[in-house]
Amino acid sequence: MAPSTPPSTPPRKRLTRDQRREILLMRRLGYSYEFIASFLKVSQRAVQYTCQKQRATPQHSNAGRPPRLTKEEADYVEQFVIQSRKTRRMSYLQVAEALWPEGEVSAESIRYALHQRGYRRRIALRKPPLSEANRQARLEWALEHRSWTKEQWNQILWSDETWITGYRHRRTFVTRKAGEELNSDCIVERVPRPRGWMFWGSFNANIKGPSLFWEKEWGSITSETYCERIVPLIQGWIRLNPGLLYMQDNAPAHAARLTIDELQERGINCIFWPAFSPDLNPIETVWNEMKDWLAQHYPQPPTSYDQLRQRVNEAWNAIGQDLLQQLVDEIPQRCQDVINANGMHTKW
């Protein structure tokens, strides 16, 4: 009796280019071989082979003019970029490596395709998270103050603190179109970063008020240290400029009962301020100007604490009167923009 012929093994189905691309992308995002195989309905062995082959394949740079993507490929790139906050922040090179891990497409091809559709790499706005109560308070404040005159705004003593590390002013870039700056995926949520050294400053109209570099031996900023170090400076300035209203945000040291009582006892009248509203405080722009000035004039970090203090004071002194008055003159527009945004984030 003749031996039976073993059944022939069906030829293994080759993965398409799109399947390989999806496998590599999902693997980069942290998915397991098993999950990828199940999700894409391919064998786990094929998934492992694709990933191992990629690690063993050298990347080749594209010489000459980068190839333009097809419409379908450009659609794929656009949908990938706009799908999340994480992908919005990826550089063109990171997008190319994520979607074409074998190096078939260059960063320049990605840039060209997205530019054709109106996308650019832009600095992300830094905004605090807003609750519904925060939004409502901001809207009510803007409605209440939108009709204030220039003379009334000039009577506000604006104040705030900023943390300065001595290193370059870090910015986050995102890929977006014009008009998308307030898209939730295109902003960076501001959270307190208690590091570096604190600088407190103030101004009214086009005049810089008192300022203070918080010395390290003073410890952390509490209501007690705020009342001891800063409140007397405010009182002295208002005595020289009667009629000023003091503006401070709702930081814990400011909003504490001890601080509020101390301000009242010293005859310092405060203007109510909605929480999480740096876009309504023009001194925030001053901080950005100072940090840009430091980065431009001192690209290397300071070598000592005393040198940092000196540089920060130089940056504060470099702020001009024209800028301060311009910032105050913009307050009505800031209020209107908050109203137009129904209390949500604005471009400021």
Has residue 277 been placed in a domain? yes
Q: How high is the pLDDT of residue 9?
A: 41
Residue 252 phi, psi (nearest 5)? -50, -40
Q: Which residue has the higher pLDDT, 125 or 145?
A: 145
The model's pLDDT over 1-28, given as tens digits with 9 standing for 90+, comes to 444 444 444 445 788 877 887 888 777 7
Has residue 322 been placed in a domain? yes
Residue 253, Cβ neighbours under 10 Å: how many? 18
CATH of the domain at 296: 3.30.420.10
Do 93 and 239 sit in the same domain of this protein?
A: no
The model's pLDDT over 30-83, given as tens digits with 9 standing for 90+, comes to 788 888 888 888 999 888 888 887 654 444 444 444 568 888 889 989 999 999
Has residue 10 been placed in a domain? no
As beta bridge partners, residue 126 has 188
Do 257 and 292 sit in the same domain of this protein?
A: yes
The model's pLDDT over 135-193, given as tens digits with 9 standing for 90+, comes to 999 999 999 999 999 999 999 999 999 988 765 556 788 999 988 888 888 888 765 55
What is the average pLDDT across 85-109? Answer: 88
The model's pLDDT over 220-246, given as tens digits with 9 standing for 90+, comes to 899 999 999 999 999 999 999 999 999
270 with 231: CB under 8 angstroms? no
Percent of the chain's residues with pLDDT above 90: 53
283 with 160: CB under 8 angstroms? yes
Do 272 and 147 sit in the same domain of this protein?
A: yes
Do 75 and 155 sit in the same domain of this protein?
A: no
225/30 Cα distance (integer angstroms): 47
Q: Two tokens at 262?
A: 């101390």
Q: How high is the pLDDT of residue 188?
A: 82
Q: How high is the pLDDT of residue 167?
A: 59
Do 275 and 329 sit in the same domain of this protein?
A: yes
Strand 212-213 to strand 187-189: parallel, antiparallel, or no bridges (unpaired)? unpaired
198 with 162: CB under 8 angstroms? yes
Per-residue confidence at 111, pLDDT binned at 50, 70, 90?
A: very high
Residues in contact with 176: Cβ distance below 8 Å, sequence separation at least 6, in sequence order: 88, 119, 120, 122, 183, 186
Has residue 122 been placed in a domain? no
What is the average pLDDT across 316-340? Answer: 96
The model's pLDDT over 64-79, given as tens digits with 9 standing for 90+, comes to 445 688 888 899 899 9
Has residue 12 been placed in a domain? no
Has residue 125 been placed in a domain? no
Percent of the chain's residues with pLDDT above 70: 88
Determine the structural domain holding residue 241 and report its residue range: 132-341
Do 98 and 136 sit in the same domain of this protein?
A: no
Largest CA distance in the chain: 117
Helix axes 71-81, 92-99, angle to 10 degrees: 110
Do 226 and 183 sit in the same domain of this protein?
A: yes
Q: How high is the pLDDT of residue 104?
A: 82
Do 224 and 284 sit in the same domain of this protein?
A: yes
Do 292 and 144 sit in the same domain of this protein?
A: yes
- Rounded to the nearest 10 degrees, how much is the dihedral formed by the CA atoms of 71, 72, 74, 79? 140
15 with 23: CB under 8 angstroms? yes
245/269 Cα distance (integer angstroms): 5
Strand 197-204 to strand 212-213: parallel, antiparallel, or no bridges (unpaired)? antiparallel
46 with 20: CB under 8 angstroms? no
Total domains in the chain come to: 3
Letter for the amino acid at 104?
A: E
Cα torsion 250, 253, 255, 261: sign: negative
The upper half-sphere exposure of residue 196, i.e. CA atoms within 13 Å in the direction of its Cβ, equals 19
Letter for the amino acid at 201?
A: G
92 with 107: CB under 8 angstroms? yes
Has residue 243 been placed in a domain? yes
Has residue 127 been placed in a domain? no
Residues in contact with 249: Cβ distance below 8 Å, sequence separation at least 6, in sequence order: 160, 273, 275, 277, 278, 281
Average pLDDT over the chain reads 86
Do 251 and 293 sit in the same domain of this protein?
A: yes
Residue 243, Cβ neighbours under 10 Å: how many? 7
321/67 Cα distance (integer angstroms): 51
Q: How high is the pLDDT of residue 189?
A: 75
100/291 Cα distance (integer angstroms): 38
Q: How high is the pLDDT of residue 57?
A: 47
Do 143 and 267 sit in the same domain of this protein?
A: yes
Model pTM? 0.64
Do 98 and 166 sit in the same domain of this protein?
A: no
